[in-house]
Chains A and B, each alone.
Chain A
Amino acid sequence: MNENIIEVRELKKKFGDFIAVNSINFGVRKGEILGFLGPNGAGKTTTIKMIMGLLSITSGDIIIDGINLAKSKEVKEKLGYMSQKFSLYPKLSAIENIEFFAGISGLGKKKIKSKIDELQDIVQKDLLDRSVDKLPPGIKQKVALYASLIPDPDILLLDEPTSGVDPEVRRNFWQEIYNIKKRGKTILVTTHNLDEVEYADRIVILHRGNIIVEGEPSELIREHGVDSVETLFKEAVRDYEGN
């Protein structure tokens, strides 16, 4: 359980003179849900994009399952990704989206068909052919999550998957994430909602490109003598700004 499947070492990203991620170090343990928290602009998406290989690294290393990302692009096949910005083609139906993502993931006809069959557990039959932009948000999100699992990745990176949805949809979505965890997957999930911390095994709080808090939520609360992670976050930010 303590083995790190992702190791981030001295990871830095600069955009011109602006340092978006400032030489951070953290690990994601195999089979855990790591909550990557912080306000907008903290550097969460930048970090996740560097792990996905979608953004070049200024300096530092990303080790995935013992392999340096810079040395082997194949290691990216272990990763699944669902982004806050885009997850599904809105004018395509759920089936068409799954067909597309399964197709570009290199799945054969039989596997694509079984993926579509499985989709019926998530989307009720009469909604399957409806374009995704006309689906209820909760269903849309489930389909997007399902799509990100098509290549059967060991690690799932979810970038703000719960932003802009109501609390009930959010709760159901986290239930789905737990189910995925039960299947042995590792999950790194970013969010700016501090109340979602309760769902994560461990958390990393990022502020202005720096890690200001890291650990298990209950332990952190006990150690710092605060009533919630939100309070802890506020104190950590105050300390950081004070420095």
Chain B
Amino acid sequence: MKGIKPVTRKELYHIFRDPKSLIIIFLMPVIMIFLYGYAISFDLNNINIGILDYSGSEISGKFIGKFLHNDYFTRVGLKSGEHQSLGTYEKKLKAGEIDEIIIIPSDFSKKVRSGIPVEVGFVIDGSDSNTANIIYQYNEMVIFDFLEEYQNIRDIFKVNTKIYFNPELKSAYFFIPGLIAVLLLMISALLTSLSISREKESGSIDLIFISPVKSYEIIIGKTIAYVFVAFAVESIILLFSKFWFGIPIKGNLLVLFGFSLIYIFTGLSLGIMISITTPDQKTSMLGTLLVTMLPSIMLSGFIFPLTSLAEPLRLISNIIPATYFLKIIRGVVLKGASVSDFLFNGLILLLMSVILIFLAVRKFSRMRRIAG
């Protein structure tokens, strides 16, 4: 029993004299508690809707008003040059710009006046099965409110709801492409995050430092090597998704791989950055998990819809690479979206990669200069 005390004391010294690991260990639960307890909820308060009101009547205006005069729905209008048509809104649905389309037929007012059954159409994006279910319930709530006011049409008012992209609202369709986005970022970053810290630990970095090789050549060389590994990992996950879980890949695989290449570069350059700033492999790995997994799961829209995040967290979600790739992969895999639907997301990821590579090269050069 006498041995316990010195062992415990030694371990405590170890724990408290490794401030970087300590910060990560303490920061992780604090962030989790903060995220779950305060900032994240499954409630939706910003459902983007496109409205096709072919009737343009007073009563259709009242019906639309019920949707717009609450905290849940926000109308998304048309940009200049866009036509008021179902096709236009379907494209927006595919690109993730809206979550739902409401279609009011041209004879809506006439039928209501004549007491003939009338049908209002709803098209919900089912790629996020959880959100789609909540939107469906909110629709019911608003319609109930409307019919409370217009009790005389209660019997003739019909609703026709269609769920696009995932009609059976299978949660696997929603989670698995999202999981690919989370895993791909984490694995890409992990691959490179260990590479420089490993060289630092072994001392091989000294031989690289004294060689005439340029800093950018080292960073880019390391990044390129791991692109192939990350691509192989993505291919395996996609194969499993399709053949094991039956996820339909509706879009073009080349489009997906094209966007993935940019995303993988973002992850790899992020890993390099972490690797340069951490002293050893252990801290590097912990740092990578903290920087990639936690925000990607919590703040990218993987589980919680972005609209349900508190404003500061929604702002943070804008700098998380998974936020952009998640839209792309769900769009391409579940909705059959094309390159043009996600040009903005692709450009943001490209910009992130370029900035991260640039910062990594600068930081690495600085480390090299300080060494010498």
| Interface of A toward B, CB cutoff 8 Å | 49, 52-56, 73, 76-77, 79, 81, 83, 85-87, 89, 101, 104-106, 151
A54-B372, A55-B372, A56-B372 given; A101·B207 CB < 8 A: yes
Which chain A residue lies CB-closest to B213?
A104
Neighbour of B210 across the interface among A81, A87, A89, CB < 8 A: A81
A54 touches B210 (CB 8 A): yes
- 26 A-B residue pairs with CB within 8 Å: A49-B206, A52-B206, A52-B210, A52-B372, A53-B209, A53-B210, A53-B371, A54-B371, A55-B371, A56-B371, A73-B372, A76-B372, A81-B210, A83-B207, A85-B202, A86-B202, A86-B203, A86-B207, A87-B207, A101-B207, A101-B211, A104-B211, A104-B213, A105-B213, A106-B213, A151-B211
Contacts of A56 in B (CB 8 A): 370-372
- The one of B203, B211, B212 that contacts A83, using a Cβ cutoff of 8 Å: B203
Task: Establish whether residues A104 and B203, one from each chain, have CB atoms under 8 Å apart when the complex forms.
Answer: no
| CB within 8 Å of A: which B354-372 residues | 370-372
Shortest CB–CB separation between residue A36 and chain B, in angstroms?
A: 17
Complex CA gap A49/B372 in Å reads 9
A85-B204 Cα distance, complex, nearest whole Å: 8
CB–CB A105/B204 < 8 A: no
B204's nearest neighbour on chain A, judged by CB, is: A86
Q: Mark B204-222, 1 if CB is under 8 A from A, else 0.
A: 1011111111000000000
Contacts of B211 in A (CB 8 A): 101, 104-105, 151
Q: How far is the CA of A19 from the CA of B209 in the complex (A)?
A: 25
With a cutoff of 8 Å between Cβ atoms, the chain A residues found around residue B208 in the complex are 104
Residue in B204, B208, B370 with the greatest tally of chain A CB atoms within 10 Å: B204
**A52 to B211, alpha carbons, bound, how many Å?**
11
Q: Mark B194-237, 1 if CB is under 8 A from A, else 0.
A: 00000000111011111111000000000000000000000000
Cα A104 to Cα B209 with chains together (Å): 10
B5 CB to closest chain A CB, in angstroms?
30
Q: Decide if A86 touches B213 in the complex (CB within 8 Å).
A: no
The answer to whether A54 touches B209, judged by C-beta atoms less than 8 angstroms apart, is: yes
